[in-house]
Chains A and B, each alone.
Chain A
Amino acid sequence: MSDQKTVLFSVFRHILPSDYENWLEQMAAEGWQIDHIEQWSSVVMSFRLCEPKKYRFVYDPQVSPRKEYIPTYEEFGWEYLGRMASAHIWRMEYEGERPQAFSDQEGLVERNRRNLTAVSISFFMFLTAILAIGLGLGFAADSLSAGDRIQLVIAGGFFGVISLALAYVMLQMRKNLRK
């Protein structure tokens, strides 16, 4: 049995922050550990097989945190694993009561709203790209070669698929703001 496991597109498999946290916790309980999160971890995440541990993970979207962000969490006993895009990932080993970084419903909803905002921005960026491609094909089609037109159609289709996936993610997030 290999002592390495690679998971692709983990953020698309576990859409809600709480589901993502639970998945990481389950992986750690099975012995699959990750000690460092990087920008591309949302696309490719590598785990190594170690001793199973009981960790609580936190997924916290913060686009531009204040400088006391990391010291505050660390003082509460959390270990910083890194960030992927705007999502900061923390963990804490525990026994007994499961530690919470968001101790009230209001904080939890705010965290989920921040996540929804981040996804919404990506969604509108892709939508703008599709619009730009559509306008390009509509107004400048005559000046484009057949090859260019095909490339633009493919790009538009690709962005369309991503936009649909993001729309689905946003819908799920909106439905589960209190989770």
Chain B
Amino acid sequence: MSVEKARKRYIPMSETMFYILLSMKQERHGYAIMQHVKELTKGRIRLGAGTVYSSLGKLEGDGLIKSIREEDRRNIYLITPLGKQILHEEAERIAELSSNYKEVL
């Protein structure tokens, strides 16, 4: 998928998708992603199996993550350069939101 298409499809991004993509900065499988997000958000976000499975399929299909190997019937995923760029742009957008909010307040 081209960067343009990925931007159109993923920005703005849902909180779930953002955290899943962020977790892919390190090699992880589905369950490890849920644990990482739970830890990162101090238990606020607890991803479900269906959400993780569907999101991984979508991200991999669009080339934002890739499966790098299989371990015990589980795929291990890692973010791709396209995924990194989209994640970075989304983080910048959120930072701008936050900065504008503070400025106006």
Q: Do A and B come from one complex?
A: yes
Tally chain A residues at the interface, Cβ within 8 Å.
22
A100, closest chain B residue (CB): B48
A60, closest chain B residue (CB): B50
Tally chain B residues at the interface, Cβ within 8 Å.
23
A101 touches B30 (CB 8 A): no
A60 to B50: give the CA distance in the assembly, Å: 8
A51 at the interface (CB under 8 A from B): no
B15 touches A111 (CB 8 A): no
Chain A, range 34-69, C-beta contacts under 8 Å to B: 58, 60, 66-69
B50 touches A106 (CB 8 A): no
A111's contact among B31, B34, B50, by CB below 8 Å, is which?
B50
A104's contact among B15, B30, B57, B75, by CB below 8 Å, is which?
B15
B74's contact among A58, A75, A107, A111, by CB below 8 Å, is which?
A75
B50 touches A58 (CB 8 A): yes
A72 touches B51 (CB 8 A): no
Residues of A within 8 A of B53 (CB): 66, 68-69, 72-73
Binding site for B on A (CB under 8 A): 58, 60, 66-69, 71-73, 75-76, 78, 99-104, 106-107, 110-111
